[in-house]
Amino acid sequence: ILNVEQSPQSLHVQEGDSTNFTCSFPSSNFYALHWYRWETAKSPEALFVMTLNGDEKKKGRISATLNTKEGYSYLYIKGSQPEDSATYLCAFLNNNAGNMLTFGGGTRLMVKP
Amino acid sequence: NAGVTQTPKFRVLKTGQSMTLLCAQDMNHEYMYWYRQDPGMGLRLIHYSVGEGTTAKGEVPDGYNVSRLKKQNFLLGLESAAPSQTSVYFCASSSSGTGGETQYFGPGTRLLVL
């Protein structure tokens, strides 16, 4: 079983604050790192798929970076808005796992107006 | 496109009862997955399928069976439900299995086993 850790588990910020959280994963046999956004009572939705060391991806106010050598990815949200409130999941794929993702426990973000 | 749909949305079972959860996708995806989501545990893979007629075990397969008789459908069966199977079940699908493709999730099925 692969160990994918996300921190913090939960985070409360004020509207307008910028924030970031971490996904840690095994640095060996890396293939891909996925980020998903999961709103309460909805389905997880894909944000990014990152495959190369040093990758940076951006979608609106949300961006992510990837360091495969040390086994971590950061997700950044600039100027948080209440609609950003959700659980953010990362999922790791290694070379030996076919298309089986191992998910972290998620970071629950709550943005107060 | 409806994407990924799941039926039922919610179900209550008594211990020992059986049921089948249905997942359907209209994106012509080869890969389909069943996950369970428990508080503090994230999503854990139960079984998956890499194509019609093929299935494989994931991280937590015990107590579940699956079938993929048609490309668009992936069924998850509980032969004899146990309280430990109380969870939210998510189905997902993706295109070819190179790992760089996102997975598309259904809305989930909430199952309570008494």
Query: For B35-93, how does the pLDDT look when each residue is reduced to its tens digit (9 = 90+)?
Result: 999 987 789 999 999 999 999 999 899 999 999 999 999 999 999 999 999 999 999 99
Residue B55 has a pLDDT of 94
CB contact under 8 Å between A34 and B103, yes or no, is yes
User: In whole angstroms, what is the distance from residue A54 CA to residue A40 CA?
Assistant: 31
Distances (CA, A) of A31 to A53, A71, A78: 10, 11, 28
Q: Quick one: DSSP state of residue B103?
A: P
A-chain residues near B98 (CB < 8 A)? 99
Asked if B103 contacts A90 with a C-beta cutoff of 8 angstroms, the reply is: no
* pLDDT tens, chain A, 113 aa long: 668 999 999 999 999 999 999 999 998 888 899 999 999 888 999 999 999 999 999 999 999 999 999 999 999 999 999 999 999 999 998 877 666 889 999 999 999 99
Query: For A11-27, how does the pLDDT look when each residue is reduced to its tens digit (9 = 90+)?
Result: 999 999 999 999 999 98
CB contact under 8 Å between B42 and A89, yes or no, is yes
CB contact under 8 Å between B99 and A31, yes or no, is yes
A33 → chain B, closest CA residue: B100
B26 inside 8 A of chain A by CB? no
Question: B49, B95, B103: which to substitute to probe chain A, counting the most A Cβ within 10 Å?
Answer: B103
Residue A97 has a pLDDT of 67
CB contact under 8 Å between B99 and A32, yes or no, is yes
> Cα–Cα–Cα angle for B64, B70, B72, nearest 5°?
90
User: In whole angstroms, what is the distance from residue A64 CA to residue A27 CA?
Assistant: 17
Q: Please provide residue A75's backbone torsions phi and psi, each rounded to the nearest 5 degrees.
A: -115, 130
B97 → chain A, closest CA residue: A99
